[in-house]
Structure 1
Amino acid sequence: MALGILCTGNLMIILDGSIVTVALPTIQQDLGFTQSGLAWVVNSYLIAFAGLLLLSGRLGDLLGSKQVFIVGLVVFTAASLACGVASTPWALVTFRFVQGVGGALASAVALGMIITLFQNAAERAKALAVYAFVAAAGSSLGLILGGVLTQSLGWEWVFLVNVPIGAAAIVLTLRSVPGLPGIGLREGADVAGSLLVTGGLMLLVFTIIKADDYTWGDARTLGLLAASLGMLAAFVVRQARAAKPLLPLHIFRSRTISGANVIMLLMVAGLFGFQFCTALYLQNVLGFDALRTGLAFLPAPVTIAVVSLGFAARLNQRFGARPVLLGGLLLVAVALALLARVPSDGRYLVDIVPAFVLLGLGFGAAMPALMGQAMAVTSPTDAGVASGLVNTTQQVGASLGTAVLATVAASRTASLLADRHSQADALTSGFRLAYTLSAAFVVVSLLVAAFVLRTPRTAKPADAEPAPSDASAARS
């Protein structure tokens, strides 16, 4: 029951990052958004969400993960209602930012709570497979649900659908999800570090988003990038010297955790860029409408569900996380390489579906294995911050991948249009270049997995942990 509640709450939050995408043209028409202003319906959510994940994860360790999860659900649900009844552009953008705050609070601690709840190796592998399915397929499901709701009920329902789900999740969490007390703010209330990392991450995501407008070589982009990286560097220095750091740097001593987060960044960058480009290819080249575009993604989440829920746990138990991760990443890279060959007169069943199925097979196998590696903490008190870290890595990777690949595709298309190529050929060539770069991201992540991650020397269970300290045993 607890696993179902945590995954449902997290799925609702992940869906919200993509469900609004299909509804954007209708929102623009009804509320009178400008073209540049419309992007902030998505960007305001992403900036708040990505910027607060790390802080939210640490708050879960300090105040108690269950308490932070419930507060996040309350904020997210209330903001969803406000978005659904918004009547002006500024109101919708403001409440989307608040949604991102609530989403960060809830999502950052969910994975850490699952790790804490499931101590048995086999059960933890199954739980991680379910959570990984939510993380892997949620964005694609959002595109499908967004198309259905927008076309049948109106754009307001891409937000209002969260209200009954969120309310039920809050009640069920209070009743059915066990929770441990936090270690207290006195153990890690690093205010300066919190301001640095939150500001740095928000500015970094903002910079990545605006790079599509300014270009990466523009002085404004470089200045914002330098400022964001400077704040994050100051945060690292602060954590190395602080008596009670927000992010204990000792977790990076583990090659497993460090390598897993690098892999997550690269893999998600490639896959989110693929999703963005494929949606545009289906609509602008093949002529699909919003609903048909959403449904066209269905083979990917279905395949992810079959693999992650049906086979991933057994594969990880049988072969170990590292070999499964390597095989999954290889399949994802092959799928993206296939998409890099799509023609301007492509056929959905021939040119898209096989790649979707391969991608689902690879991602469904890789994601649970990678989640387990990224959460390989040795102390329960680090579970929240490790959960917040891997979620932050995902969001930065998604923003980076979408911005870089969109820029590359647009630049290639503009160059070919200037040479008087047809619209369809120019667009398709831009998307092919973006798919090639996506595949390159995944290949690099495969190399990191091969040469940085290590296979344990002994045949211990994947989640074997050292004996808990007296303090943690007393808390349990």
Structure 2
Amino acid sequence: MPATGKKTESSDGGVRPGLTLAVVAVVQFMVSLDVSVVNVGLPRIAAGLGFGPAGLTWVINAYALTFGGLLLLGGKAADRYGRKRVLLFGLTLFGLASLGGGLAQAPGQLVAARTVQGIGAAALAPAALSLLTATFPSGRARVRALGVWSATNAAGAAFGVVAGGLLTQYASWRWVMLVNVPMAAGTLALARRGVVGSRPAERGSRPDVLGAVLATAGMTLLVFGVVRTDRHAWTSPVTVTTLACAVALLGAFVAVERTTAREPLVRLGLFTNRSVAGGNLYNLLIGAAMTPAFYFGSLYLQEVLGHGPASTGTMFLPVTLGLVAGSVLAVKLGYRFPARLLLVAGGLLTAAGLAWFGRISPAGSFTADFLGPSIVAGVGFGLCLGPVVSTATAAVAPHEAGTASGLLNSSRQIGASLGLAALGTAAAHRTGHRGSLVALTDGYRLGLTLGAGLTLAAVVVALTVLRGPGARVRLAQPEGDVDLVRAQD
């Protein structure tokens, strides 16, 4: 996020860079972990609280929607009220929401807790990244710090499935929520002691709360309308009205950003930059494909192949390792090849892995049906992470680089919600009311195949939209100052 003054953490004599990096790393790991940690526990959550198949997706969507929808507002709040203050607020809210979710006794209570978790994460993530860029303003220390941030971001989402399985099997599904409480409390104590507060921005403007509310409400209604198509047809009055209201709210958001917001969340002129528009569209499509893949994969291993939560989580280790390997490979290749080429290669590899996943069998096995495609898709997805950041923040004015970065985080989370809603609904329609393993597998297979199609669409975006200066940007420069790092400040 953009710094709001020269005398920030990076120039304060009391700064403790090591502790700041530790705080930021734990925060990023925690908010990424919570995108996927509930996946393996979903069957037991459904049984314990009485969720229906479509309603169960809201355990994931409630978090992803509020997280993605409020990220830009969280960044503006950190600039206005001070990064440390917003970080501490977010940690407190996140911890309390996790406690509430772990104690939930009804579906609505858990969804509400996940919603509040998303609000806390939307405050945490931009405040933490802004602290990092202020504490490490340049040089190799900055490169290493951003490397730690990228690694914990990727590892948190991938490791969440593993941790969720172990906790669900050997403790309770409630611990996929409660595990955040000690992490949040410990990080809160560490942040109070080791993070130096920044000067708030001048009080000349107000955060665009109206824009944030309109955007989040519009996206929530859009996802809700898609999810409810399991009960109401696409042409039914209920679905048409819901989707029309969603479009109206999103249209109002555009109008507010264009005409009335004194300090808009997003300057709409940013989207005239092909790299920004194409990078965010690519990011949205990749998020819409990969989040459902984790969802369907965990359900297939448990509901069809009959594995327990712990073994299911362990079986996601190849995805985790592949993702990390792909991220490391992207940095190494980034010295030699433009980011656009890596996006095409990573997208094709991810699509191949998901298409391979789409051949799962009700009589299959982990080795035959899951291991190979999980490695291929994991490496491909990891290969996309760094290049899409450098592309979507290329050729952006320095004072808008933070906004471009926040927009990229939002597009990933919103894509995850829309993809899970659409593909989850399509899978449920294919399965219908049949309860057989063949029917379940048929639904999962369709969802995974559609995910491969979304990834191919992302490749088309990289080939057609990402042209001009942004197409030639590289993830890393040999002298050590990377475009990825520069773009985050």
The answer to whether TM tops 0.5 is yes
Equivalence map 1:54-453=2 (5 Å): 54-86=72-104, 91-114=109-132, 120=138, 127-177=145-195, 180-242=198-260, 243-308=262-327, 310-376=328-394, 378-379=396-397, 381-414=399-432, 423-453=436-466
Q: Which amino acid aligns with 1:190?
A: D
Equivalent residue letter for 1:314: K
Cα gap change, 1:288/1:464 in structure 2, threshold over 3 Å: closer, same or farther? closer
TM-score (norm 1): 0.85
Query: What is the alpha-carbon root mean square deviation over aligned residues?
Result: 3.2
Aligned pair in 2 of structure 1 residues 143, 390: CA closer, same or farther (>3 Å)?
same
| 141 and 76 in structure 1: CA distance in 2 versus 1, 3 angstrom threshold | same
Per the TM alignment, residue 360 of structure 1 is displaced from its structure 2 partner at its CA by 1.7
Query: Shift in Å at residue 402 of structure 1?
Result: 1.2
Task: Report the CA distance between 1:446 and its aligned residue.
Answer: 0.7
Where does structure 1 lack aligned partners over 5 or more consecutive residues?
Answer: 467-471
User: Aligned partners of 2:171, 2:362: CA distance in 1, in Å?
Assistant: 33
- Seen in structure 2, the aligned counterparts of structure 1 residues 435 and 86 have a Cα distance that, compared at 3 Å, is closer
Q: 1:325-348: per-residue Cα shift (whole Å, max 9, x none)?
A: 221111111111212222332232
CA distance in 1, matches of 2:441, 2:186: 44
User: Is the 1:61–1:382 Cα contact (8 Å) retained in structure 2?
Assistant: no
**Closer/same/farther in 2, CA of residues 319 and 200 from structure 1, 3 Å limit:** same
The gaps in structure 2 that reach 5 residues or longer are: 1-17
Question: What is the percent sequence identity of the aligned residues?
Answer: 39
Is the CA contact 2:78–2:127 (under 8 Å) kept in the aligned structure 1?
yes
Aligned-residue offset at 1:392: 1.9
8 Å contact kept, 2:59–2:110:
yes
**Partners of 2:43 and 2:388 in 1: CA distance:** 36
TM-score by length of 2: 0.83
Q: Cα distance, 1:287 vs. partner?
A: 1.9
Partner of 1:454: 467
Counterpart of 2:287 in 1: which secondary structure? helix
Q: For residue 469 of structure 1, what is the aligned residue in structure 2?
A: none
Q: Matched residue of 2:113: which SS?
A: helix
- Deviations 1:119-162 (Å, cap 9, x if unpaired)? 55876665555444444443332222112112222233222221
Alpha-carbon offset, residue 278 of structure 1: 1.6
In 1, Cα distance between equivalents of 2:159 and 2:139: 29
Question: Which deviates more, 61-70 or 73-82?
Answer: 61-70
> Quick one: distance in 2 between partners of 1:20 and 1:121?
38
Conserved 8 A contact 1:79-1:95: yes
Deviates more, 1:271-280 or 1:108-117: 108-117
Tell me the SS of whatever aligns to 2:286.
helix
Matched residue type, 1:222 = V
AA of the residue aligned to 1:452: V
The count of aligned residue pairs is: 461
Q: Supply the distance in 2 between the matched residues of 1:188 and 1:274 (Cα, whole angstroms).
A: 39
